[in-house]
Structure 1
Amino acid sequence: MEQLRDVPVFVEAAEAGSFSLAAARLNLTRSAVAKAIGRMEGRLGARLFHRTTRRQSLTEEGRFFYERCLRAVEEIRAGEALIESGRREVRGRLRVSMPVVFGRTCVAPILVCLMRDHPGLELDLSFSDRVVDMVEEGFDLCIRNGLLKDEPDLMARRIAFQRMTVCAAPSYLARHGTPEQLEDLGAHDGLLYARRDQVRSWIFPTAEEPMRAVIPKARLRVDDLQALLDAACAGLGLAWLPCWMVRDAVRDGRLVQVLTHVPSIHFSSHAVWLKTPVMLPKLRIAIDRLAADLPDRMGVLLDPDCREPAGQAPSRERSVTQAAVA
């Protein structure tokens, strides 16, 4: 039993790739993690990690041992989940990653209410627009918008839809005119979202093309949606933004929606988690609450047309391999 005590420490260190990060996740000191790994290496008579000043990586023996230890830890977690599933109280820490503006405005308030309803639940919320590595960075749940990449080790459930809209300040439209057709966008200044030099196209479903991509000439490129909204309100150009995000600005007259007769695309928002034999109750209740409350919360922030599109199949859990091609 004394030997088994170090197994979860080894698994966490292997997944984190850093003794310091593993220590932070386990609420231990880095020295305690290093000593636990040292004890295991001493008992096994094998080196489990290549060590550098900044990072630790598994040796061949370490990878072999990690796979066996991971199975054992997953079985223990599955057993705990089965026992806890019969309890009313949801306990433990849940690490969640979410997009910055969408997370702050729509997702986090729901999770905070969930935490209030379950005093034993702890939350670690991280706001980032990049796609995080759930295993490497230790997240239990991620909220991702748009098309998912093929990742067979992950599961996903659609929890909401986001409808996009083109808008501009009245002052900009007074100077440059109002676009009437998609072809008119080429003559306007575009405020574009871009990450790592990849510009996000504006996408419109049309009769001729299921997904027509348009990129106006870029006057401004940023990697933050709030900055795009601020620039649009300042009259710097047209912006393509989620309608829940522009609701207040449209209502108070800072922005005007244009091309409203053109069909708009709906992006799916997904909850994504690691595929495991049994889902922990804290994860299950968080996903269920988001799926139940997020559309209503977004409905408060946007117009009724931004609800779930008609004819869509009910939300269900599926592998990210399936979600990516659905």
Structure 2
Amino acid sequence: MIGSKVIDILVFLSVVETGSFVAAGKSFGLSRSTAGKAVARLEEAYGARLLNRTTRALDLTEEGRSLYEHGLAIRDAIEAADSSIKSDQGVPRGTLRVTAPDALGRRLLLPTVQKYLETWPETQIELSLSDRVDNIIEKGFDLAIRIGVNSPDQSFVTRTLLRDETMLCAAPSYFETRATPLNIEQLSRHDLLQFATRSARQGWHLQDEDGAWVRAQGRVRLRLDSAEALREAAIQGLGIVLLPRLLIGPDFSERRLQQVLPHVSSGRIPIVALYPHKRLLEPKVRRFIDMLSSDLRRLPDQ
């Protein structure tokens, strides 16, 4: 019975990370209905709802978030046991090609890169820092680290390293001539800084005190394709921005930025490792992912 529950928990993790019963089922060779039944069995076993289902999204309940965090530990233990006995487990060697967002790479990846190179002297790393989501196979990357990007198809594997809180913030100077917004509706009177590429534009869905999700309205006069550029624009007082806490934590302590609408939730965003599907993952890739995951989970406020 324990074994079947573990499988259900692993399916539940996949549902949360892909945001889809269909995608989660496919990753286990199951149908959508079978994946749904796995979550239903868990909800019946625990006597609690784990997911709030809407036509647009799947949101974790408090009980669901608790199970998700414990489920990550279960999956990590399985992966550790699996990798410890696989024949390809060995000393990492050769060049590891990694792509990551600019801000995340500069602030959080470089310490792991330094430790990785010191630990495994027979390796080299080529690190591309860009917020563009390139085709990692065509570009020859072994690994992509992304914020809020899930696997585009079943030829890729996605491992969630961390789910980070996103926060609305702005520079103190921005409010020198403007009133601080007191609710989501008052954002419509402010300048919003949002991420955009040629193919997609960011929109903000915020949860008010009543638990309802609302699409924020505001003047978007500046769009940027770089999280680091968005951060810099906010520090310069150009508007209100929504970014992961990991990228802006020091800016709060040093008072370059201040939180806006602290009572409003903007959800948590996954930081993921994305790599081409392989039956046996090379040691150089696995070791880097494991090290980065461990480093991220040791960061303050996580």
Pair in the same fold by TM > 0.5:
yes
Q: Return the letter of the residue paired with 1:229.
A: R
Q: Return the letter of the residue paired with 1:243.
A: R
Match of 1:238 in 2: 240
In structure 2, relative to structure 1, the CA distance for the partners of 1:281 and 1:175 (3 Å cut) is same
Local SS of the residue matching 2:146 = strand
Distance 1:289 1:226 in 2: 24
Shift of 1:215: 4.1
Q: Moved runs in structure 1, 4+ residues, more than 4 A?
A: 81-84, 206-211
Distance 2:199 2:120 in 1: 42
**1:134 is aligned to 2:126:** no
Match of 2:165 in 1: 163
Q: Return the letter of the residue paired with 1:172.
A: Y
Given that 1:202 and 1:213 are in contact with CA atoms closer than 8 Å, whether structure 2 keeps it comes out as: yes
Distance 2:228 2:281 in 1: 34
Shift of 1:207: 6.7
Q: Among residues 107, 118, 121, which one is paired with 1:119 in the alignment? A: 121
Distance 1:169 1:82 in 2: 51
Superposition map of 1:7-22 within 5 A: none
**1:269 is aligned to 2:271:** yes
Q: TM-score, normalised by structure 1?
A: 0.62
Given that 1:161 and 1:295 are in contact with CA atoms closer than 8 Å, whether structure 2 keeps it comes out as: no
Match of 2:180 in 1: 178
Distance 2:229 2:111 in 1: 22
Distance 2:119 2:86 in 1: 22
In structure 2, relative to structure 1, the CA distance for the partners of 1:146 and 1:215 (3 Å cut) is farther
Superposition map of 1:91-240 within 5 A: 91-196=93-198, 198-206=200-208, 211-240=213-242
- In our comparison, the structure showing a higher alpha carbon Rg is 1
Q: TM-score, normalised by structure 2?
A: 0.67
Q: Return the letter of the residue paired with 1:159.
A: L
Local SS of the residue matching 1:278 = coil
Local SS of the residue matching 1:241 = strand
Distance 2:200 2:155 in 1: 26
Local SS of the residue matching 2:177 = helix
Distance 1:187 1:156 in 2: 39
**1:257 is aligned to 2:259:** yes
Given that 1:161 and 1:267 are in contact with CA atoms closer than 8 Å, whether structure 2 keeps it comes out as: yes
Given that 1:219 and 1:237 are in contact with CA atoms closer than 8 Å, whether structure 2 keeps it comes out as: no
Distance 2:213 2:274 in 1: 25
Distance 1:174 1:118 in 2: 51
Determine what percentage of the aligned residue pairs are the same residue: 33
Given that 1:107 and 1:294 are in contact with CA atoms closer than 8 Å, whether structure 2 keeps it comes out as: no
User: What is the aligned length?
Assistant: 218
Q: Return the letter of the residue paired with 2:153.
A: E
Q: Return the letter of the residue paired with 2:157.
A: M
